[in-house]
A and B are shown apart, each in its own frame.
Chain A
Amino acid sequence: MNDPFLLFDLLLASAVIALAVATLSVRDLFASIVLFVIFGLLSALAWVRLSAPDVALAEAAIGTGVTGALLLKTLHHMRFVTGRLGQDAAESVTPAQPVPAPVIWANAALCGLITLGLAMAFFAAPQAGPGFEALVTDAMPESGVTHPVTAVLLNFRSYDTLMEVVVLLAAVIAVWQIERGLSEAPAPALGEIWHGFARLTLPAIVVVGTYLLWKGSEAPGGAFQSGAVLAAVGLLLLLSRNYVPRPAHRGLARWAFVLGTGVFAAIALLVAGGGREVFEYPAEHAYSLILLIEGLVTISIAVTLAALFHGREPVALAIEEKRHDT
C-alpha cells in the first residue's frame, strides 16, 4: 500500500465496470442513457488517473457531454414516434428492445476474447514501452508549441487531424441529406427556470471553451475539447429557443461547417514550396498558424456538433411554423 491512491483507483475501476454492466442491463432507455453519462464521467476520471488529461477532457466533453445530449435527443424523438411524448415522466418508461440471448452470449464471448488478448498484450509488451516519446521530445523545439499532444496532433501528424475534421464534416453532410419526409418530434425546450440557468451558464461556457483552446498550445486542451464545450452554447441556444434555425441560415451554416477543414487544408498546401513539404509550417510562424487552425477548427466543430444535435437541415416546411406555439 505504497500508493495512497491505490484504494481510490480500485474503487474507480470497480465503479466504471459496475456502471458499464448497469448501462447494458437496465431496461429503461432513459435510465440507460443517464448511467452511460455517469459512466463516461467516471471514465474521464480514470483517464486523469492514467495521466492522460487530454483524453480525459475529450472523454468528458465529447464522449459524455455531446454524446449524452445526442442520445437524449434521439430518445425524445423515439418517444414522439411511439406516442409516449406527453406522458408523465414517471410512467414514460421506454423499454429497450430485447436482445436475443444467443446474440448476448456471442457478444460476451467476443468481448471476453478481446479483453483476454488485451491483457496478454499488456503483459507481453516491453515495460519501458517503446513509443513516440523520445522522437517527440527531440522534435518539440521545432513544433511551435510546448504541449506534446498538440504538437503531435497539429504538427507532426496534422494530416490525421485534418482527416478527423473531415470525418465530422462527412457526418453533418450525411445527416443533412437524409430525406426529411420522416416525421419529426417538436424540438425539446427548456422551461421558464432554465432560461435563467442558460443566461448564467452561457458566459461561463464560452470562457471555459475559449480557455481550453488558448491553453492547448502549452497544456492539455485543444480544438476538439474546446469545440465540444462551445457546442454546449449552441445546444442551450437551441433548447432555450433563443435561436431557431431557419432555412435562410443554411448558407451560413454550410460555410461554418467547412471553415475549419477548408482553412486547415488550404494552409497545409500554402506553406508548401521553397523546399518545404505540404503541412511543413515555417518554424517562425508555426505557433500562430497552429493557433489560427485550432481556432477556426474549434468554430467548425462547435457549429457542427450543435447542428448534429438539431438534426435535420432546416427546410421550409409547414411543420416549421407550428414550432413557435409552445
Chain B
Amino acid sequence: MTIDPITLAVFVPLFGAIAAFVFPRAAVWLGLGAVLATCATVLGLAREVLAAGEVVTPLGGWAPPLGISLRADGLSVAMLGMSAIVGLLVSFGALDALRDLRQRQYFWPLWLLLLTGMNGVYLSTDIFNLYVMIEVIALAAVGLTVLSGTKDAVRAGLEYMYASILGALLFLMGVGFVYLQLGRLDFAGLIAAEPSGALSAALALMVIGLLLKTALFPLHFWLPAAHANATAPASALLSGLVVKAALYIFLRLTTYMPLPDEILVTLIGALGAGAVLWGGVQALRAERLKLLVAWSTVTQIGLIFLAFARAGQVGLTESWKAAALLILAHGVAKSAMFLAAGRIKDEVGHDRIADLDKSDIRPTLAQFTFALAAISLIGLPPSLGFIGKWSLMEGAMAAGYWHWVAVTMIGTLMSVAYFSRVFAGFLRFDRMRGELAEHKGWALADIAPLTLAVAAISLGLMAAPILSFIELGYPFGELP
C-alpha cells in the first residue's frame, strides 16, 4: 500500500481529527502529531512538485469530468505549506494559550478538520468538491470561533455561520448554473468553455458567495466580532488561514472564467479600496487590541482585491502573483500578530489599547513580536508584505492604474497610524511609577508567535525563490 503525499495531505489531518475527538485525554499530543505529519506530507508533496512541476491524482481511478482529481502545482503547495507551517506554530502557541480543559480537548479536532478542509480546497480541481470543502471549513471555523465560550463569541459565531452558509449557498447555486450550462464541474471544463452570459451569471453568484466568505467590504460585517472574540489561537487560524481559502478559490475561478467586463473588474477594485479605507478608519477607532487587529484583516483583504483589479487575462497573469504574495505575507504576519495580542492580553489582563501603558507587567517579547508583525503588515522592507505591496504597485503603475496606487499608499499610511496607537501603548512615558517588572511578561509561549513574526520579515529576503516556486506547474495555463 503506497499512498501519494497529495492524498495524505487531506487524509492525515482527517484521521488526526478523528483520533483527537475519540481520545479527548490525548487530544493535545494526537493533534500535534497530526499537524507535524501534515507538515511532513506537504514537504514530500513540495519535492514532487519541484521535480515534476505538477502532480495529478484521479481519485478512485475515475478521470474528470466523471470523477475528481487532486492536483498540486506551485501555487497550491505554497498555500498548503503556509497552512501547515503557520498551523504548526499556532498549534505550539495553543499549548499554552488554551488553559481550560474543555477548550484543550475541542480545539484539536476542530482545527484538524479545518486543516482537512483547507488542504482539500488547495488541491481540488472540481467546483462541487470546492463547495463541500468550504462547508467543512465553515463548520469547523464556526466551532473555533465559539470555543472561548463567552456570550459575545457565541453571538459572533452565529453571525459568522449565517454569513458563511449564505456564501456557501450562493456558491452552490453558481455551481448548479455551471452544471446546467456545461454538464461538467471540473476546472478543465471551465477552461474549455465558451464565455457566455449564463456562465458569467454563474461566476457572479460564486464570486459573491466567496466575497461574503472572505469578508470583502461591504460583506465584512461578520468578521471583526468573530475574529476579535475568539481565543487567540483560533483568531490566528481564522484570520491568518481561513479567509485565504475563499480568496484562493476566487483567484483560481477568475483566471479559469475571466471576469467578462472591465466595469466588474473596476467594481472589485472599488470594493477593495472601500475595505482599505473603511477598515483603516475602524481600526483607528477600535478600543480593543484584538478588534484593531481584526479590522486590519479587513483592510488587508481589500488590499489583496486591489491586486486583482487589473482587467483581462493579461492583467491577471501578472497580478495573481502580487495577490499570492500578499496572501502568504498576511497569513504569516497576521497569525503572529493575533498570537502576540493574545499573549499581551494574557499577561496584562486586558486588551484595552488606551490602558496598555498603565500596566506594571510588561510582556516585552510579545510586544516585540507584535511590532515585527506590524512591520510586515504595513509593508516596510525587507518583509514579505513589502514585496507583495511592491509588486502590487509596480503592476498597477505599469498598467496605468494610478488611482489604485494612491489607495494603496493611503492604506499604508493609515496602517502606520493605527499600529502606532498600539506602539505608543508599548512605550512607557513614565505614566507608571514605581517598581517595574520588566522581565515578568516573558514566557516560553512567546516563541511560536516570535518565530512567525521573524518568518514574516525574513521571507521577504526569499521572495525570488518563492515567486519562482508558485509559478511551478504554471497554475493558469492549460490543464492536462
Write out the residue numbers on chain A whose beta carbons fall within 8 Å of the beta carbon of B359: none
Write out the residue numbers on chain A whose beta carbons fall within 8 Å of the beta carbon of B3: 269, 272-273, 278
B90 within 8 A of A: no
Contact B59 A159 (CB under 8 A): yes
Tally of B interface residues using CB under 8 Å: 61
Contact A178 B154 (CB under 8 A): yes
Question: Total A-B pairs in contact (CB under 8 Å)?
Answer: 174
Write out the residue numbers on chain A whose beta carbons fall within 8 Å of the beta carbon of B102: 177, 179
Contact A163 B129 (CB under 8 A): yes
A76 and B113 alpha carbons, distance in the complex (Å): 31
| Choice from B4, B15, B113, B128 contacting A160 with Cβ under 8 Å | B128
Write out the residue numbers on chain A whose beta carbons fall within 8 Å of the beta carbon of B201: 117, 120-121
A280 and B57 alpha carbons, distance in the complex (Å): 12
- The residue in chain A whose Cβ has the minimal distance to the Cβ of B61 is A280
A269 and B15 alpha carbons, distance in the complex (Å): 11
Contact A130 B66 (CB under 8 A): no
A160 and B113 alpha carbons, distance in the complex (Å): 15
Contact B110 A157 (CB under 8 A): no
A136 within 8 A of B: yes
Q: Taking the nearest CB of chain A, how far is it from the CB of B110, in angstroms?
A: 6
A270 and B1 alpha carbons, distance in the complex (Å): 7
Contact B113 A166 (CB under 8 A): yes
A169 and B110 alpha carbons, distance in the complex (Å): 10
Contact A120 B67 (CB under 8 A): no
Contact A114 B198 (CB under 8 A): no
Q: A118-B177, A135-B66, A181-B149 are in contact. Are A279 and B14 (CB under 8 A)?
A: no
A contact face: mostly helix, strand, loop, or mixed = helix
Contact A174 B149 (CB under 8 A): no
Write out the residue numbers on chain A whose beta carbons fall within 8 Å of the beta carbon of B113: 166, 169-170, 173
B205 within 8 A of A: yes
Q: Taking the nearest CB of chain A, how far is it from the CB of B266, in angstroms?
A: 21
A63 and B105 alpha carbons, distance in the complex (Å): 32
Contact B180 A121 (CB under 8 A): yes
Contact A177 B143 (CB under 8 A): yes
Which of the candidate stretches B134-142, B221-229, B370-378 sits at the interface with the other chain?
B134-142
A136 and B15 alpha carbons, distance in the complex (Å): 31
Identify 13 residue pairs between A and B in the complex whose beta-carbon atoms are under 8 Å apart, listed by A's number.
A114-B205, A117-B198, A120-B197, A121-B202, A125-B180, A135-B66, A155-B60, A157-B60, A167-B136, A169-B18, A258-B18, A273-B1, A278-B57
Where the two chains meet, the residues of B that have a C-beta atom closer than 8 Å to any C-beta of A are 1-4, 7, 11, 14-15, 17-18, 21-22, 24, 57-62, 65-68, 102, 105-106, 109-110, 113, 116-117, 120, 128-129, 132-133, 135-136, 139-140, 142-143, 146-147, 149-150, 154, 173, 177, 179-184, 196-198, 201-202, 205
Where the two chains meet, the residues of A that have a C-beta atom closer than 8 Å to any C-beta of B are 114, 117-118, 120-122, 124-125, 129-132, 135-136, 139, 155-160, 163-164, 166-167, 169-171, 173-174, 176-179, 181-182, 251, 254-255, 257-258, 261-262, 265, 268-270, 272-273, 276-281
| 8 more A-B residue pairs beyond the given contacts A178-B146, A278-B60, with a C-beta to C-beta distance below 8 A | A130-B183, A135-B65, A156-B62, A167-B136, A170-B110, A173-B110, A177-B102, A265-B15
